[in-house]
Amino acid sequence: MRAYCLLLLLLLLSTPVFAAPELVVEGLNHDFGEIKQGGEVAHTFRFRNAGDEILNISNLHSSCGCTAALLTTRKLAPGAIGELQLIFNSQGFRGEVQKMVTFETNDPKHPAITFNLRGKVKAELFLQPERINWGLVKKGATLQTEVEIVNRSKQSITLQQPQITSDQIYAELSARIIAPGEQVRLTVSAKFPDGKKRLAGYVVINSDFTTLPQLKIPVSARLSQK
């Protein structure tokens, strides 16, 4: 029996222990609260290599071009600390937002990891609705939609005349100056282009509001075959 236990102990001692990196993250989620539209918010996530081999980081990927991701290093020695800074630009966003950044590692337990940045963007100049999609329409149908341009800032905003990227789309403002807390009406109409199956374009309105100097409304429709 003693010989058997001794043999078992020798086998256990002779079993190789493979070295590997080990990613340990302080936190995966950050809520930045509320910011004004057009502002930027930054947050730094910290992590370390608790293993005994170099931690390699690759394929850093952001879910949106609005969120920049900056790594301090892509190779982390055992015991070393790394940082990932995320910078979110809120221009063009409104309401609840969530942005994600992912990278891959050679840690066998954490081959990929995702960091989350979330919060609320308070818009001071916005459109209702934000886009116009007439869907499937019959040939010769009247296409027209009214859009409210809302000013929730504390200053008057002057709008320039609409610029349109399609000859088949028309737009007219009810007024060019929006007082604080007020709104103006934008009437958008269109006629379906002859010989085409799809209508697409943008109505672009520039303003003197530095936080959001340009409003862009996508307009689209498709011709019904029935």
Would you say residue 27 lies in a domain? yes
Per-residue pLDDT for 3 more than 70? no
Ramachandran sector of residue 33 (left: φ over 0; alpha: ψ -120 to 50; beta: rest): left
Q: For the chain, give the mean pLDDT.
A: 90
pLDDT tier for residue 191 given thresholds of 50, 70 and 90: confident
Q: Give per-residue pLDDT as tens, 28-74.
A: 999 999 998 888 999 999 999 999 999 999 999 999 889 999 999 99
Same domain, 118 and 141: no
Same domain, 111 and 137: no
Which residue type, as a one-letter code, is found at position 23?
A: L
Same domain, 83 and 136: no
Q: Give per-residue pLDDT as tens, 141-180.
A: 889 999 999 999 999 999 999 999 999 999 999 999 999 9
Per-residue pLDDT for 24 more than 60? yes
d(CA 102, CA 112) in angstroms, rounded, equals 7
Would you say residue 105 lies in a domain? yes
Would you say residue 3 lies in a domain? no
Choice among 3-7, 40-44, 97-101, 211-215 with the minimum mean pLDDT: 3-7
Per-residue pLDDT for 16 more than 70? no
Same domain, 118 and 134: no
What are the residues facing 91 on neighbouring strands?
none
d(CA 58, CA 73) in angstroms, rounded, equals 10
Last residue of a domain, one of 122, 140, 163: 122
Whether the bond between 162 and the residue before it is cis, its omega within 30 degrees of 0, is no
d(CA 155, CA 134) in angstroms, rounded, equals 33
Same domain, 132 and 206: yes
Q: Give per-residue pLDDT as tens, 94-150.
A: 899 999 999 999 999 999 999 999 999 999 999 999 999 999 998 888 899 999 999
Same domain, 173 and 154: yes
Would you say residue 8 lies in a domain? no
Last residue of a domain, one of 94, 122, 150: 122
pLDDT tier for residue 192 given thresholds of 50, 70 and 90: confident
Range of the domain at 84: 23-122
Position 15 scores a pLDDT of 44
Of 108, 100, 95, nearest to 28 (Cα)?
100
Position 211 scores a pLDDT of 85
Give 204 or 225, the one with higher predicted confidence.
204
Same domain, 117 and 43: yes
d(CA 186, CA 171) in angstroms, rounded, equals 7
What are the residues facing 87 on neighbouring strands?
42, 68
Q: How many structural domains compose the chain?
A: 2
For 205, phi and psi rounded to 5 degrees? -125, 120
- Output the domain CATH number for residue 43: 2.60.40.10
Which tokens go with 17? 């222990």
Give 141 or 220, the one with higher predicted confidence.
220
Same domain, 142 and 210: yes
d(CA 157, CA 183) in angstroms, rounded, equals 10
Residue 2's SS3 state is: helix
Same domain, 112 and 168: no
Q: Classify burial at 169, counting beta carbons within 10 Å of its beta carbon; exposed 0-12, middle 13-18, buried 19 or more.
A: buried
Same domain, 214 and 141: yes
Last residue of a domain, one of 122, 143, 168: 122
